[in-house]
Amino acid sequence: MRLNALLLAACPLLFTVNAGSAFDETVADQHNRRVNSKIATVKLPSHIIRSAIGVTRKQTTIPVLIGQGDLDYHTKKTRVLLVSGMDGDDKAVSNALAAMQWFNTQLSAKTWRPQFEVSLIPIANPDGWAASKGSENLSGGRVDVGYPPKGNAYNSQTAPEASYLWRWIGMHAPDIVVDVRSGGELKWFATKDAITPRLTATLKASNQVNDGELIANLPKHAACQVGTIPALRVHSPSLQFLPELLTAIHRSQAEKRSKARQEIQRRLARTPIQVAQELANHYGDNLNSVAYIPGLALIARLRVTELSGDKSHRQSVEQTVAPYLTGEKPTLGKRVSGSNLSGHLIFGELAKTTGNSKYTTLADQAASLGFDESGTLKQSMPYHSEMSDAVFMGCPILVQVGSLKKDRRYYQMAYRHLQFMLQVNRRKDGLHRHSPLDQTAWGRGNGFPALGVALCLSDLPAKDPLRREFIDVHVSHLQALAKHQDPNGAWHQVVDHPGSYRELTSTCMITFSMIRGVQLGWLDEDEYAPIIKKAWNAILTRIGPDGNLVDVCTGTGKQKNLQAYFDRTAILGRDARGGAMALMVSTEMAAWMMGK
Per-residue pLDDT of the chain (596 residues; tens, 9 = 90+): 343 433 333 343 332 323 333 456 899 999 999 999 999 999 999 999 999 999 999 999 999 999 989 999 999 999 999 999 999 999 999 999 999 999 999 999 999 999 999 999 999 999 999 999 999 999 999 999 999 999 999 999 999 999 999 999 999 999 999 999 999 999 999 999 999 999 999 999 999 999 999 999 999 999 999 999 999 999 999 999 999 999 999 999 988 999 999 999 999 999 999 999 999 999 999 999 999 999 999 999 999 999 999 999 999 999 999 999 999 999 998 899 999 999 999 999 999 999 999 999 999 999 999 999 999 999 999 999 999 999 999 999 999 999 999 999 999 999 999 999 999 999 999 999 999 999 999 999 999 999 999 999 999 999 999 999 999 999 999 999 999 999 999 999 999 999 999 999 999 999 999 999 999 999 999 999 999 999 999 999 999 999 999 999 999 999 999 999 999 999 999 999 999 999 999 999 999 999 98
Domain with CATH 1.50.10.10 in the chain: 272-594
- CATH homologous superfamily of domain 3-265? Zn peptidases (3.40.630.10)
Check residue 181 and give its pLDDT. 99
pLDDT at 333: 84
What does the alpha-carbon distance between residue 217 and residue 505 come to, in Å, rounded to a whole number?
29
pLDDT of residue 100: 99
Rounded to an integer, what distance in angstroms lies between the CA atom of residue 52 and that of residue 28? 14
DSSP letters for 90-136: HHHHHHHHHHHHHHHH-GGGTTTTTTEEEEEE--SSHHHHHTT-TTB
Of residues 59, 60, 153, the one with CA closest to residue 550: 153
Pairwise CA distance, residues 572 & 544, whole Å: 10
Picking from 155, 210, 189, the residue whose alpha carbon sits closest to that of residue 493 is 155
Domain with CATH 3.40.630.10 in the chain: 3-265
The upper half-sphere exposure of residue 399, i.e. CA atoms within 13 Å in the direction of its Cβ, equals 26
Q: Which CATH number fits domain 272-594: 3.40.50.1820, 1.50.10.10, 1.10.3720.10, 3.30.360.10?
A: 1.50.10.10
- Rounded Cα distance between 54 and 245, Å, is 27
- Inter-residue contact 227 to 92 (CB < 8 Å): no
558-569: b (≥16 Cβ within 10 Å) or e: ebeebebbbbbb
160 three-class SS: helix
Encoded amino acid at 124, one letter: A
37's CB contacts (< 8 A; 6+ apart) are: none
Contact assessment for residue 219 and residue 231, using Cβ atoms and an 8 Å cutoff: yes
The SS3 of residue 83 is strand
Collapsed DSSP state (helix, strand, coil) of residue 23: strand
Which residue type does 539 have? I
In DSSP terms, 371 is beta-bridged to 377
Burial environment of residue 135 by CB neighbours within 10 A (0 to 12, 13 to 18, 19 or more)? middle
pLDDT of residue 255: 83
